[in-house]
Amino acid sequence: NAGVTQTPKFQVLKTGQSMTLQCAQDMNHNSMYWYRQDPGMGLRLIYYSASEGTTDKGEVPNGYNVSRLNKREFSLRLESAAPSQTSVYFCAVGVSGIYNEQFFGPGTRLTVL
């Protein structure tokens, strides 16, 4: 089992360009999440999806859109990248139940010039 996979691992964009970060899971859980990690700020939730067909905003959704394509896949799109979106992006899958333990992908390191 691969668990949670993310593509690409690295990406460099110019300001104004668009891109989609892909996340896929083979854990058969309903909840999926997108976080960004910045130095000294921990992880901040961008968007999440409690189940196929539903998405909700997290703490820092501005400048992003998401699609929950099916139970396995949850993508994050930057329509017009800005330097402030330079960050490491993590996808996570939440185990069903009250404790909501989450499993994380390896991350995508994005630089916006």
Partner 1 sequence: AQSVTQLGSHVSVSEGALVLLRCNYSSSVPPYLFWYVQYPNQGLQLLLKYTSAATLVKGINGFEAEFKKSETSFHLTKPSAHMSDAAEYFCAVISQGGKLIFGQGTELSVKP
**Binding of residue 107 to partner 1 (CB under 8 A):** yes
The CA distances from residue 60 to 25, 44, 52, 80, 98, in Å, are 23, 7, 21, 16, 24
**Binding of residue 1 to partner 1 (CB under 8 A):** no
Choose between 26 and 79: whose C-beta lies nearer to partner 1: 26
Which position among 48, 60, 85, 87 is part of the footprint of partner 1 (CB under 8 A)?
48
Q: Which residue has the tokens 């996979």?
A: 5
**Binding of residue 42 to partner 1 (CB under 8 A):** yes
**Binding of residue 61 to partner 1 (CB under 8 A):** no
Alpha-carbon distance 54 to 72, whole Å? 13
Alpha-carbon distance 12 to 43, whole Å? 21
Alpha-carbon distance 67 to 71, whole Å? 11
Strand partners, 33: 48, 92
Residues 72-91 that bind partner 1 (CB under 8 A): 90
**Binding of residue 100 to partner 1 (CB under 8 A):** yes
Q: Which stretch binds partner 1 (CB under 8 A): 14-22, 68-76, 79-87, 105-113?
A: 105-113
| Interacting residue ranges for partner 1, rule: CB under 8 A | 4, 33, 40-45, 48, 58, 90, 92, 98-107
